Amino acid sequence: METAFSSEPEGAIRRWASYLVIDQQTLNTLREFYWVMEQNIDDILSHVYAHLSRNRETAHFYQDEQSVKRAKAHQREHMMRYVFRGNFGAEYYNATNRIGKTHHKLGIDFKIYSGAYCIVLSQLAGVVYKVLAPEIGNVQRYMTALNRVIFMDMGLATSVYYDTACLELEELAHELNFALAKAGEFRDNETGEHIKRISRMSFELAKAAGQEPHWCKMIQIASPLHDVGKIGVPDGILLKPGKLDDQEWNVMQQHPAMGGVIIPDNKSELIRMARRISLTHHEKWDGSGYPAGLKGEEIPLEGRIVAICDVFDALLSTRPYKRPWSMEEVVTYLRDNRGKHFDPQLLDIFIENLANMQLIRRQFEDAVSPEIVAD
């Protein structure tokens, strides 16, 4: 089996091969009867593309002879070089993904694309029975091998449709999150770059803390909504150029809870994370934060991560009521609040990755600074 499949990135091939029982015996059978395909592949593809050219669902893709010729040539190369030869390595994986992406880009419906494999299998069966009969044992062995690799090829190629759809939904969710988050940030005299910095810093801190890639991607998408509750804070308080009085501060402290109302308690894992971040990013490790006074690991990990990134970025930024702190002042503040405001282990990781965080600050630098009230 080790000779059949090379190293990563073809982990997906290994999973399909295991599921469809594409073992060394299967590969040996493919190579034993490879000559059958060599002698008959052109006739097989001619029948397949004749069918596709006549069918009303697919005919418009093959309106001229050159289109058919190109499609046949590409499929012949793919089948003979990889599938019928049992050559399943990184090169095959990349080639199969390119095919899936091309067909998706052309707008070929998933059902039509997968259905075309059935037509190919039907033609293969006819040829194999004709050429290898009356050796029925060989017919059965070869058809079993062909079925397994054809379905693996179809699965890998059509998975691109699913992956692309997921990516499009993820990008849409990210854009919608930023749009909603900007509504809160713009009311707070922010330029919008703050939420981009928080998004990237949260991702980097989560990754450095050893979280799995999917979780890191989720916090990158969810974290921009940390201050969405500011939408519910009156302008007179939110935009006040100076220190808030006790009553105003009590109102300001409601914005995490307001965010919890704005972001629904949804079954989506991503939306639930965004809601937890909104509710808990002002909680403190020692229990002195708000709105719930959570302490230590009672605060969700995502809330603890965003808390560090948010304070770091806010202290370095110009606000209507303050000038930006120096990096030295900010790092001193963070260290002084280790185990008080901030999760001590996460803060250590953040400081270790300070260079990355500074790079993010430079990449998403504020274009316009808010007007500062004189001290």
Euclidean distance between CA atoms 304 and 283, whole angstroms: 8
User: Out of 3.30.420.40, 1.10.260.40, 1.10.760.10, 1.10.3210.10, which CATH number does the structure's domain 188-363 have?
Assistant: 1.10.3210.10
Residues 6+ apart with CB under 8 A from 152: 13, 16, 17, 20, 22, 88
pLDDT value, residue 182: 66
Annotated catalytic residue 230: yes
Main-chain dihedrals φ then ψ at residue 340, nearest 5 degrees = -110, -75
What are the residue boundaries of the structural domains of the chain, listed by start? 11-165, 188-363
Of the listed 230, 267, 284, 295, which one is catalytic?
Answer: 230
What's the pLDDT tens digit per position in 319-366? 766 789 999 999 999 999 999 999 999 999 999 999 999 999 999 987
Rounded to two decimals, what is the model's pTM? 0.61
CATH architecture, domain 11-165: Orthogonal Bundle (1.10)
Judge whether residue 373 has pLDDT over 60. no
Mean pLDDT of all residues in 5-26 = 66
Q: Distance of CA 5 to CAs 25, 97, 146, 180, 353, Å? A: 14, 17, 17, 46, 37
